[in-house]
């Protein structure tokens, strides 16, 4: 059948499908191009250090020694600690807005506040953390008898926790609202309380969507740069506690890329970016598998 013989609606649908196909192909090519460019510029560092780059504990541009382990540990610690802190808050906000206050002035104000938090530039979070949060953490460390750095893993995690709440809370609220009312009404008719309906009906039904929002928040935390750079301390060592200063993969690139003069130093920074890309991709793949498995079970 030729294109001329198709109706106007048929041609429009064919054109729309073609646009969708080209867009999907473009995204795949773009991801592959980013990975390939990072890999090519990382070749000098890969040839010099090999697999040892991943497990090296020393990062010293003066002597040409580069190891990514301190930054990998710092990135994972800050991201997962922030995620752990944010889960109770994001889940509470999701249930509160999705089940209790779906409409009304208070609901609108809270939704607007969440949207504003998601739109604030990370540099603003960094300034707020530097001038407000760091002195508070320093006072806490003095009371606990810990070296009062103020900056460190814990401070960066608190900043990230505030930054990622809007992502997980917004998606969680939407999936909670998608729970069919028939399910909830059936549970109420059997004598279930509001708490039991939430625990045994809403959360099991919406768990895959809630988990997807949590994983989206984790991806946001893994790649955050400026806010973390300003409050983490920027020390190129493996942290010995959550209060110790450290560095992340994104923050070390932000701090040193403009000053990297040697080709090996520059290539090592690009390889750090490649490692961050791979870690994010692995987390997303694992997350999609978990979400898919939970969707099937539910």
- Contact in structure between 298 and 207 (CB atoms under 8 Å): yes
Total number of residues shown for the chain = 298
- Binned at pLDDT 50, 70 and 90, residue 8 comes out as low
What is the per-residue pLDDT across 216-248, written as a single tens digit (0 to 9) for each?
Answer: 888 888 888 888 999 998 888 888 888 999 999
Structural domain boundaries, residue 143: 42-297
Residue 31 lies in a domain: no
Residue 127 lies in a domain: yes
Pair of tokens at residue 123? 């540099």
Residue 29 lies in a domain: no
Residue 256 C-alpha from the chain's centroid: 23
Has residue 81 got a pLDDT over 80? yes
What is the per-residue pLDDT across 116-154, written as a single tens digit (0 to 9) for each?
Answer: 888 888 899 999 999 999 999 999 999 988 888 888 999
- Binned at pLDDT 50, 70 and 90, residue 6 comes out as low
The domain spanning residue 78 has which CATH number? Answer: 1.10.3720.10
Largest CA distance in the chain: 82
- Contact in structure between 176 and 94 (CB atoms under 8 Å): yes
Strands (E), the chain: none
> How many domains is the chain partitioned into structurally?
1
As a whole-number percent, the residues of the chain with pLDDT over 90 amount to 26
pLDDT for position 187: 82
- In whole numbers, what is the pLDDT of the chain averaged over residues? 85
* CA–CA gap between residue 79 and residue 124 (Å, rounded): 19
What is the per-residue pLDDT across 279-298, written as a single tens digit (0 to 9) for each?
Answer: 888 888 887 777 676 654 55
* CA–CA gap between residue 67 and residue 252 (Å, rounded): 12
Residue 17 lies in a domain: no
Residue 232 lies in a domain: yes
* CA–CA gap between residue 204 and residue 109 (Å, rounded): 28
Residue 33 lies in a domain: no
Has residue 184 got a pLDDT over 90? no
Residue 25 lies in a domain: no
Closest Cα to residue 72, out of 236, 285, 257?
236
pTM of the model: 0.85
Residue 16 lies in a domain: no
- Binned at pLDDT 50, 70 and 90, residue 20 comes out as confident
């Amino acid at each position: 059948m030729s294109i001329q013989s198709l109706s106007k609606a048929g041609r429009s649908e064919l054109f729309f499908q073609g646009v969708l196909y080209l867009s999907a192909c473009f995204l795949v090519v773009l991801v592959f191009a980013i990975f390939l460019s990072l890999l090519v510029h990382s070749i000098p560092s890969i040839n010099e250090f090999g697999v040892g780059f991943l497990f090296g504990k020393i990062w010293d541009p003066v002597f040409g020694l580069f190891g990514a382990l301190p930054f990998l540990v710092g990135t994972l610690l800050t991201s997962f600690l922030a995620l752990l802190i944010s889960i109770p808050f994001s889940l509470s906000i999701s249930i509160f807005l999705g089940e209790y206050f779906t409409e009304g002035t208070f609901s609108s104000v809270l939704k607007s506040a969440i949207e504003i938090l998601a739109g604030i530039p990370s540099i603003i979070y960094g300034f707020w953390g530097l001038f407000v949060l760091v002195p508070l953490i320093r006072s806490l460390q003095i009371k606990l008898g810990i070296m009062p750095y103020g900056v460190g893993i814990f401070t960066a995690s608190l900043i990230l926790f505030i930054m990622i709440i809007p992502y997980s809370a917004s998606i969680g609220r939407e999936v909670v609202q998608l729970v069919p009312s028939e399910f909830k009404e059936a549970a109420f008719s059997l004598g279930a309380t509001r708490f039991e309906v939430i625990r045994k009906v809403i959360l099991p039904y919406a768990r895959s969507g809630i988990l997807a929002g949590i994983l989206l928040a984790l991806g946001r935390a893994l790649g955050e740069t400026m806010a973390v750079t300003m409050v983490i301390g920027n020390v190129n060592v493996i942290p010995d506690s959550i209060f110790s200063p450290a560095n992340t993969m994104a923050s070390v690139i932000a701090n040193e890329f403009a000053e990297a003069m040697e080709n090996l130093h520059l290539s090592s920074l690009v390889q750090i970016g490649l490692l961050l890309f791979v870690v994010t991709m692995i987390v997303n793949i694992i997350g999609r598998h978990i979400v898919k498995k939970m969707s099937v079970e539910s």
